[in-house]
Amino acid sequence: MKILGLESSCDESAAAVLDSDQGLLAHAVFSQIELHRLYGGVVPELAARDHIRRLLPLLRGVLADAGIAAQQLDGIAYTAGPGLVGALLTGAALGRSLAFALGIPALGVHHLEGHLLAPLLEPDPPPFPHIALLVSGGHTMLIEVQGIGAYRLLGQTRDDAAGEAFDKTAKLLGLPYPGGPELARIAAAGRAGAFVFPRPMLDRPGLEFSFSGLKTAVMHAVRDRVLDDALRADVARGVQEAIVECLCVKALRALEATDCEVLTVSGGVGANLQLRETLSRLLAARGGRAYYPRPEFCTDNAAMIAVAGLARLRAGQHDDLAIGAHAQWALDSLPAL
């Protein structure tokens, strides 16, 4: 089967072609970062309008790169939620209509299932069952993954997501939007131990996270001080260490609680090098292993949507003719395969 994947849930427009035998044939992402930078965050209406401009050229581009015509597609998978509803509707309308015109099935894919299955795009994919640490701009979750569609939420954040914590503290440091990757970049020059920020929830049992207090702690740390590059780097290092430690401690706890030694890490924060290195080291010390998508498949992309879509379309699942988009959508409401 050849599947077209489309992603438009937030500020990345993306398309990909995945073949069930040959793997990923082509993928492309257009990031709207420049468009939203002026506002310091994603403006939903601008995002939706820009997806309309970008999606069709991206789609034509990946078909050309894959060397196939639209008529050779066997199905279309588009992100149907959760996300910005206007943005979602652009990809949903395009995917659903094109599938109708081509006479092939279409399926609305859950964006988080895409992130969860992104590690399957790699040549050495993780076995099932495993524990997934899903860390993005909107979510921080530990999930027991028994198989595709068999997800049990073990714990999540009570307030801000890990990516949000990176972005908000970066903003306080005056770093350019989006702050997460930039904060990680400058943290490399920071001194260890110059700032030690709180690690909420670590002293309590359970698998929940809380990151909202980090903003206040950073605000206090930089108040009445000259924010030069050295101070920025020290604070950035302290922030990254606090977030990474919270994620690692809870991920290990989840593995222990489920007697599992396989961890996957996905979502935008999964691109963070310190997180990847720390988890790999901790897992190796236990005789386990951590699996990651390549960094470009940690952040939003259509290849992951095509992976989830291919698995479900192959199993005979597809949507009716309605164009579906859900701002909220519970992961555990998905049917198992």
Piece in contact with ligand KG4 (CB under 6 A), picked from 29-37, 44-52, 131-139, 147-155 = 131-139
Distances from the Cα of 157 to the Cαs of 116, 201, 283, in angstroms?
Answer: 17, 10, 22
Kindly tell me the number of DSSP H helices and DSSP E strands found in the chain: 10, 10
Pairwise CA distance, residues 62 & 213, whole Å:
43
State which of positions 116-145 bind Zn ion (CB under 5 A): 136
Examine residue 309 and tell whether it contacts ligand KG4 (CB under 6 A). no
Q: Choose among Zn ion, ligand KG4, none what residue 292 binds, the Cβ cut-off being 5 to 8 Å by kind.
A: none
The option from Zn ion, ligand KG4, none interacting with 269 (CB < 5 to 8 A, set by class) reads ligand KG4
φ, ψ of residue 210 in degrees (nearest 5): -150, 125
Among 81, 114, 163, 190, contact with ligand KG4 (rule: CB under 6 A): 163
Q: Is residue 200 part of the contact set for ligand KG4 (CB under 6 A)? A: no
Tell me which of Zn ion, ligand KG4, none is bound by residue 112, counting a contact when its beta carbon lies within the kind-specific cut-off of 5 to 8 angstroms.
none
Q: Binding of Zn ion at residue 234 (CB under 5 A)?
A: no
Q: Which residues contact 123 (CB under 8 A, 6 or more apart)?
A: none
Two tokens, residue 280 = 């790999």
Distance CA 166, CA 245 (A): 14
Find out whether 59 and 306 touch, Cβ atoms under 8 Å: no
Residue among 160 and 300 whose Cβ is closer to Zn ion: 300
Binding segment (CB under 6 A) for ligand KG4, from list 175-183, 247-255, 307-315, 320-328: 175-183
Which residue has 């222990």 as its token pair?
256
Among 116, 184, 263, 334, binds ligand KG4 (CB under 6 A): 184
d(CA 27, CA 150): 27
Residue 8 in the binding site for Zn ion (CB under 5 A): no
Our CB check for ligand KG4 shows the closer of 166 and 195 to be 166
Does position 136 interact with ligand KG4 (CB under 6 A)? The reply is: yes
Contact 180, 269 (CB under 8 A): yes
Which of 61, 138, 213, 324 is in the footprint of ligand KG4 by CB under 6 A? 138
Q: How far apart are CA 325 and CA 90, in angstroms?
A: 9
Does residue 301 bind Zn ion (CB under 5 A)?
Answer: no
Q: Which of 7, 19, 234, 300 binds ligand KG4 (CB under 6 A)?
A: 300
Among candidates 39, 34, 10, 100, which has minimal Cα distance to 302? 10
* Binding of residue 267 to ligand KG4 (CB under 6 A): yes
Contact flag: residue 180 with ligand KG4 (CB under 6 A) = yes
DSSP string, 190-259: SPTTS-----TTTTSSSS-B--HHHHHHHHHHHTTS---HHHHHHHHHHHHHHHHHHHHHHHHHHHHHHT
Among ligand KG4, Zn ion, none, partner that 163 touches (CB below 5 to 8 angstroms by kind): ligand KG4
How many positions of this chain bind Zn ion (CB under 5 A)?
2
Interacting residue ranges for ligand KG4, rule: CB under 6 A? 10, 136-138, 163, 166-167, 178, 180-181, 184, 267-269, 271-272, 299-300
